[in-house]
Structure 1
Amino acid sequence: MPRLLSASLIGRLPTGMAPLAILLTVREHGGDYRLAGLLAALYAGSAAVCGPVLGRLIDRTRQAPVLLASAATSTAAFLVLGLVDPVRSVAVGAVAAVVAGAATPQLEPCLRVLWEHVVVGEHHVRAAFSLDAATQELIFVCGPLVVLGATAFGGPSAGLIAAAAVGLLGAVWFATARPARAWRGTRVERHWAGPLRGAGVLRLFAALVCVGATIGAFTVGITGYAEVAGNPSAAGWLIALNAAGALVGGLAYTAVPVAHREDRRLLLLLALLALGYLPLVLVLNIPVMAVFALLSGCALPAVLASAFALIARMAPEGTLTEAHAWMITSFGVGNALGSAAAGTLLDLVSPAAAFSLATAAACASTALALRRLLT
């Protein structure tokens, strides 16, 4: 378990590194923020679209070969993106960004599929899901720090080269672990819709889109709030406190007993998530907002851990890796939509409107779970 979790976190660091590394590389070559944003969006978008495709391939074959092949492809694309001038060769940079994202190794879905094979007992499997969800925060805390460290020694482009190196290291370490090498896809009758045909699955994914929108709106809203409050640097600390709350909440949730009905547990947790973001709408002074930022993050890992456990029961046989990949895509799409909408609200209205959007999205996720997801 320590090896799989550690390797997964290291291999997924490029997700937290790529946006900043791309920005620094483009700016180094004299490009503007519009080009940097375009390349970052191409990377994230292709990862979201192709994740379920790779997940389906893994479900039908094995984990190790697909992980190693995708890691090698993504690494090569990161190297190209770091070594060429993306301003003079926009097309090459765009293709490299798309390939780097599309070939992102599906370490996160593979890890969640393996938990039931390496952890004994339902309670311990749920605890592993919670620990997994909590430690995800480290990717987005440590990823930018690794980029800054690499660029301090090797210049702005070193961030992308570092992303290539750590991504390959983590994927190889994970794929060569015995559980990953031993895992085989289930031979069952295939259906073009994969896990999407499962009862309640689409509603669960829609709820995760709303959860992602909550987080995206919060991140943009808290940044705008800090600027309006006259202390732009506070945004980093407030976002870090939100992540710290998530880490604490996730670790605490590992001790919670297994739910009799996981869908009812998820409904309660989604309601707590909405309740956690509601006080931010008041837009109080920074010390009070710091407390609320910490508290608002606490429920997220529990929500994700419950969703992980639920999809394991809802996904049709032989589609679990793809189902987990769809969960990641759903959350990522929601995050992007929430960020975009919150940015518009910041420009037109106020930070309070962005926080209201975050709360409304969390309430929408709760509403989607009101009707039972399990039959």
Structure 2
Amino acid sequence: MAAAAGGYGDILRAPHAARLLAGTLVGRLPNGTAPIAIVLFTRSEGGSYSLAGALAAVYGVANALGQPLLGRAVDLRGQPRVQLPAALVSAAGMALLAVLGITPVALAYAAVAVAGLFTPPLEGGLRALWPSVLGAEDRVHRAYALDAVAQEIMFTAGPLLVTLLVSLWSPAAAILVINAIGVLGALSVVVSEPSRTWRSAPREAHWLGALRSPGLLALLGSFFFVGLALGSITVAALAYAEDHGDQSAYGWLMAALGLGALAGGVVYGARQWAGAPERRLRVLTLLLALGYLPLTLTPGVPAMTVLAGVSGVFLAPAIACAFIVVDRHAPRGTVTEAFSWLVTTFGVGAAAGTAVAGPAVELSGTAASFAVPGAAGFAALLVLLATRRALAAPPGAGRGARGATSATGAPAGENDRNGAAEAGFSTGHQA
């Protein structure tokens, strides 16, 4: 752990790194907290749970559609021209919901659709910047792991911040404050030198963009099922808590899952890994799937909490390794779009997981619902195994992010080739 802390400290001490990571996390707060904020606001306005769920679903679908489109715009136009305007429009959509309420319903749906569609692709943007900011391959890989760890912190702290703001003021105020904070986070990123000077590599004109890469398609197919596994756990955990008559058990299970992922990500990022990341991703996905299987035992709350923690250990490492694979397989000039597709696919999978786990609970009970994440994990592995040829390292691996222009005007990784021990990217990002 001490080595990991030292390695992450080295990353955060690099010029611009801490600011970019913090700004991205703050800028993503509106997106990370939107589902709970929309539900709490709708209920406070007298809306039904069905309406609350429908509004949250519309936001999620719009977000899934918008991320790759905005990611492509970033690759074509640069980060400041896309990220900040998108953040302002998205915040305006949520502000419209907070000010006008849920009537008329059509306007409420339109407001959340706009907010979701224009959510800035800050995740993909940050991962496109790391190579130009950090240079050396091992530092970039560690930054990807730090990115995955930081996400776990955000998704734990974000809902807590929403509930705190609701208790202090109101759900409407919480929406306004969170989205104002999000705009400030996006602003912090886009006015930084790396973001202002970053340019994507020249791209081949093609309507499919990043999706013309067979390797990227294979990865997206696999991570749809990883998202499905995670989404199904949220429903299964709630059913488990209800079975035990203890609603707090849900919070314990989800916190343990996040803590396990946090620990796994910290350890994974503490060392360099030899070999092709595609092969490593297959191993991590297998371990992730195996970690879900004991959840079907549904023991008492203390033991189940431990199992939930174990089930999360390989999540952040698998996501981190997938980032590397994205970079290796993203066609030249499409890196932000490629990362945004990963966000979209994972999110759609998570939504599908919530839809699948519900009927599983009703038809076969809680234990069967916990079989869904395990089955989804093995489905993700099968996709990777079935597409091994597509996922073979492409010529010029790593050119997705490496081909971009750095803050100094040189190709990302160029400084590394000229003056350091590493020779550019042979591996890429985490998923």
Q: Give the shorter-chain TM-score range.
A: over 0.9
AA partner of residue 337 (structure 1) = A
Matched, 1:264 2:317: no
1:153 CA drift (Å):
2.5
Choose the corresponding residue for 2:243, options 217, 225, 228: 228
Query: Which has the higher mean CA deviation after the structures are superposed, 137-146 or 265-274?
Result: 137-146
Match of 1:65 among 73, 81, 86: 81
Listed one character per residue, the Cα deviations across residues 68-123 of structure 1 (whole Å, up to 9, x for unaligned) are: 1101101111111111121x211111111000001101100000001111113111
Tell me if the contact between 1:7 and 1:171 (Cα under 8 Å) persists in the aligned partners: yes
What secondary structure is seen at the aligned counterpart in 2 of 1:157?
helix
Structure 2 contact 203–334 (Cα < 8 Å) conserved: no
Tell me which residue corresponds to 2:69: 53
Alpha-carbon shift at residue 272 of structure 1 (Å): 0.6
Query: Structure 2 residue aligned with 1:325, among 332, 337, 340?
Result: 340
Which structure 2 residues correspond to residues 232-251 of structure 1 after superposition, within 5 A?
A: 232-251=247-266
Instruction: Give the corresponding residue for 1:146.
Output: 161
| Contact 2:204/2:332 (8 A) holds in 1 | no
Q: 1:176 aligns to what?
A: 191
Deviations 1:26-75 (A, max 9, x none): 12221111111111111111000111000011111101110111011011
Task: Report the equivalent of 2:90.
Answer: 74
Contact 1:26 1:35 in 2 (8 A): yes
How far, CA to CA, are the matches of 1:73 and 1:168 in structure 2? 10
Tell me, what secondary structure is at the counterpart of 2:188? Answer: helix
2:373 alignment counterpart: 358
CA distance in 1, matches of 2:274, 2:75: 27
Q: Which 5+ residue runs of structure 1 have no aligned equivalent?
A: none
2:220 paired residue number? 205
Match of 1:166 in 2: 181
Say which of 103, 109, 124 aligns to 2:139: 124
Question: How far apart are residue 169 of structure 1 and its match?
Answer: 1.1
8 Å contact from structure 1 (residues 24, 157) kept in 2: no
TM-score by length of 2: 0.85
CA apart distance, 1:185: 2.4
Q: Identify which range, 16-25 or 300-309, moves more after superposition.
A: 16-25
Shift of 1:194: 0.8
Q: CA deviation at 1:259?
A: 3.1
Q: Which amino acid aligns with 1:129?
A: Y
Partner of 1:367: 382
> Which moves more between the two structures, 104-113 or 10-19?
10-19
Q: Is the 8 A contact 1:221 1:346 kept in 2?
A: yes
Letter in 1 for 2:55: L
Identify the residue that residue 85 of structure 1 maps to in structure 2: 101
Measured after TM superposition, the shift of residue 160 of structure 1 is 1.1
Distance 1:198 1:20 in 2: 35
SS of the aligned residue for 2:171 comes to coil
Query: Which amino acid in 2 is paired with 1:58?
Result: V
Alpha-carbon contact 1:126-1:258 (below 8 Å) kept: no
> What's the secondary structure of 1:256's corresponding residue?
coil
RMSD: 1.1
Instruction: Select 1:10's aligned residue among 26, 29, 37.
Output: 26
Q: Distance in 2 between matches of 1:367 and 1:256?
A: 27
Task: Output the amino acid matched with 1:374.
Answer: A
Cα distance in structure 2, aligned partners of 1:262 and 1:185: 23
Counterpart residue number, 1:28: 44
Looking at structure 2, the residues matched to 156 and 322 of structure 1 have their Cα atoms a distance apart, in angstroms, of 33
- Deviation, structure 1 residue 164: 1.5
Instruction: Please name the residue that 1:196 is paired with.
Output: 211
Cα distance in structure 2, aligned partners of 1:346 and 1:140: 25
Task: Show CA shifts across 1:278-308 (max 9, x none).
Answer: 1111111111111111111110111011110
Normalising by structure 1, report the TM-score. Answer: 0.97
Question: 8 Å contact 1:147–1:158 — kept in the other structure?
Answer: no
Contact 1:122 1:258 in 2 (8 A): no
**What's the % identity of the aligned pairs?**
43
Is there any run of 5+ residues in structure 2 with no aligned partner, and where? 1-16, 394-431
Out of 113, 125, 134, the residue aligned to residue 98 of structure 1 is 113
Report deviation, 1:139. 2.2
Mapped pair 1:254 → 2:294: no
One-letter amino acid of the counterpart of residue 85, structure 1: G
Report the equivalent of 1:285: 300
* Aligned residues of 1:15 and 1:139 also touching (Cα < 8 A): no
